Amino acid sequence: MGRLGSSIGIAVVAGALLAGVSACGGDSSASTASVPAADGKAVVKASASASPTPSKPKGPPMLLDTITPQNGATVGVAMPVSVVSTNPVATSARADIEKHLKISTSVPTTGAWHWFSSTRVDFRPESYWKAGTKVTVDADMTDVPDGNGLYGVHSYHHSFTIGDDNETKISVTGHSMQVTHNGAVVKNFPIDAGSSTWPSWDGTMAVIDKQASVRMTSCSVGISCDKSSPDYYDLTLPWDVHLTTSGTYIHYSSGDPYPGHSVGSHGCVHLSLANAKWYYNYVKQGDPVTITGSPRGKAAGDNGYADYNLSWTQWLQDSGSGQFTTTAAS
């Protein structure tokens, strides 16, 4: 069978993601656009291995579009490796592609790939990463088919580090938020979460990124575009920690400056100004945030990095090659 002079378009996203609108609540689903890095700065475009030499007729290069965390970055214990392709990957080709997306770690780690769609595949450990783990991704995609007539043209190497185990647990009904560092409680905060009309997502969401200020509008997430509606808002708010692509943040709200008294938001989690600033400076991309007590149910696994909202059995159901234990790079 002849191979056309074109290639697999793949964005290797060692944690990148897929930004949606900047607002609380709404019914927006996860998108496939890239997002800023964890510090709110623009993601640097990736480059492939130096001077790749395609063995097939020249075509568009395999895309390494956005990479987060950047090479050498430190992320939280719930951060997946996410690979987003520009073209659909056939089901028949997925196991082979997984085998060419090689994960090496300084600590043996049992994990697996999971296909959220024909264009997104994530790797996560069965349980959270161990703090301090060094992770390497070698995407050896040269001549690898996507099952739809396209082929990779070169390889890619990337590495990052798992930082301290910083976890956040939020009780909607208790109007409280607890922050731990390597298992020890460091802060307890009063919070307000979503209302009964606009509830917050339940479940565990790894932090996508954070920004010092974000413009949030009710119209952008389908809550209300009517300026006379009590649900309408158009605000630029500080100290924003991003949890879902559908628009969930932990942040300060000028409309709810003293949270903890059960007044609901439009789905975000509100902290006081001082507490929001402290949390913004403390948290990093990939740190897990677990919300309980909301009637909305768990966020979908691909609504940001909510990978741990799937059980291990559910995770393996959409894996091409199943679970494996990583080894150190040779």
Structure tokens at 98: 């997984």
**Confidence label for 50 from pLDDT (cuts 50, 70 and 90):** very low
Domains belonging to the chain, first-starting first, are: 10-164+310-325 (2.60.40.3710), 166-306 (2.40.440.10)
Cα gap 77→285, rounded to integer Å = 9
Q: What is the pLDDT of residue 217?
A: 85
pLDDT of residue 261: 84
Res 32: pLDDT: 38
Predicted pLDDT at 157: 84
Model confidence pLDDT, tens digit, residues 214-236: 988 888 778 889 888 888 888 88
Global pTM? 0.85
The pLDDT, as a whole number, for residue 56 is 54
274 sits in which H/E element: helix 273-282
pLDDT band at 259 (very low <50, low <70, confident <90, very high): very high
Positive/negative CA dihedral, 326, 83, 54, 49: negative
Strands 101-105 and 134-140: antiparallel
Residues 6+ apart with CB under 8 A from 50: none
pLDDT for 68 equals 63
Apex 178 CA angle, 173 and 180, nearest 5? 155
| From 6-10, 288-292, 300-304, the region with the lowest mean pLDDT | 6-10
Mean pLDDT of the chain: 83
8 Å CB contact between 18 and 304? yes
Give the model confidence (pLDDT) of 143-152 as tens digits: 888 888 888 8
pLDDT tens digits, 140-197: 888 888 888 888 887 888 899 999 999 999 999 999 999 999 999 999 999 999 988 8
Per-residue model confidence as pLDDT tens digits over 16-43: 433 334 567 555 444 433 444 444 333 3
- Tell me the mean pLDDT in the region 92-96: 96
Is-contact 79 69, C-beta < 8 A? yes
